[in-house]
Structure 1
């Protein structure tokens, strides 16, 4: 049953990602594609079940337009771009507007493409309703679809990926994240729940533990369900190369109100962490050189 369901999901995935001619700058399309980030050890060879993803689906976002007041973000991005060499960035953590906005801002600043892996999984399954049905009827098939989407994304360079919780639920998926730099965007559950309720956003299919949505269970249970998800996933989140905590950023900037932390504040901290990691890599390489 799992094999049939997975195959069906993969076929839908192909249909949504037929080759097209993206209208992107030639310099981006011709950029070299890194196989993995040099901070990590080589991975076992993988055998992709489907051809590489080569189109521009709905879940791809590329605007190359920075918001007002983001000049410092752009300057920092230009500073670290030469050492990144097109290495992809994976943002893990609870799905939230903050995480999504940070991902888009980073992509714009670094001149990268932006993807949301959960959206890709839903597209691969034929839509949100189909994805929900597949998850309820064939959990393994659904998780295989998540792995396949992540495998496609990890084989590409110059991406900022807002990775869903499926990315930290198996050793295979965690290994795929090692093809890039992973950052945990740590946002308080209270803020995630509040934003979801205010914006009328339902808990993603990939995070639902039951067939119910938060609108059917009440605001208090939205928080309760997100708290359960967080407890289940925080071990996986913690395997990221670095973490950026909204609470810590607020403390560093002297904000008493967490809502005062902006997307730019969070994006800057992510870039600083990436810079720290690349400097650490350079120090390790220099220390390993023979005298």
Structure 2
């Protein structure tokens, strides 16, 4: 009779195997990456934040959240929101300055705020590194907003954290506004696609390790193409 110990042990082995696979893939990718910074774009969510931190850890990069840096420059989260409301142009200039500083550095994983995809200047700054669109289902983004009201309380983009349907409507409107900017990223990593590839019906079954492997695979493809292009332009 199975008392749950066997299934728990199997899960633990699976986690260890996934972690080892992530570390192995990171070691394979790192040499060709050559310290190039990585910018993650997409709707703000705990999935995006957690993935960014893990990616930085396995690549031995530094992690930054561009929204947090803009807020710090404005005197904190609440001050940053007031700054945006009273001087939108100044706030946008602050966003650009933060991205300019980050894009001039190497070995960074940056969770980029939505301002990064809302102007041609900021989009050009992302070209200094590799940009990846982490596409998370809007229902999960909405659930994040509702469950973590403190983290998102100062959000300038979602003004009313009311009922689920009200928040989902705002999230959907924001997504439709920004998806064109997200789509300019060098590659897209879709949580739904990863779940389908792994045969998961439940999206919550997708682990950070599952997603990070997909991210590393996309980075590997991009660096391989860049390497081939560089080889093709060398004189015989």
Moved >6 Å (runs of 4+) = none
How far residue 72 of structure 1 moved from its aligned partner, in angstroms, is: 1.1
State the alpha-carbon separation in 1 of the partners of residues 108 and 154 from structure 2.
23
Q: 1:251 aligns with which of 188, 196, 202?
A: 196
* Residue 174 in structure 1 maps to residue 123 in structure 2: yes
Question: After superposition, where does 1:1-291 map in structure 2 within 5 Å?
Answer: 69-203=18-152, 205=154, 207-208=156-157, 212-214=159-161, 217-291=162-236
Q: Could you tell me whether the CA contact under 8 Å between 1:165 and 1:206 is conserved in 2? A: no
Q: TM-score when scaled to structure 2? A: 0.89
Counterpart for residue 59 of structure 1: none
Could you report, residue by residue, the CA deviation over 1:94-149 in whole angstroms, capped at 9, with x for unpaired residues? 01000011101110000000000111111010011111111111111111111111
RMSD of Structure 2 on Structure 1 (CA): 1.6
TM-score by length of 1: 0.72
Query: CA contact under 8 A between 1:134 and 1:142: conserved in structure 2?
Result: yes
- Aligned partners of 1:262, 1:133: CA distance in 2, in Å? 36
Cα gap change, 1:271/1:168 in structure 2, threshold over 3 Å: closer, same or farther?
Answer: same
Confirm or deny: 8 A CA contact 1:164 1:206 kept in the other structure: no
Indicate the residue corresponding to 1:53 in structure 2.
Answer: none
| Greater alpha carbon shift after TM alignment, 199-208 vs 180-189 | 199-208
Q: Deviations over 1:203-224 (max 9, x none)?
A: 4756526xx341xx33321111
Alpha-carbon offset, residue 201 of structure 1: 4.5
Quickly say closer, same or farther: Cα 1:229–1:206, change in 2 above 3 A: same
CA contact (8 A) 2:81 2:156 kept: no
Uncovered stretches (5+) of structure 1, i.e. residues with no partner: 1-66
Secondary structure of 1:70's partner?
Answer: helix
Aligned length: 221
Higher helix share: 2
- Whole-angstrom distance in 2 between the partners of 1:101 and 1:267: 10
Deviation at 1:71, TM superposition (A): 1.5
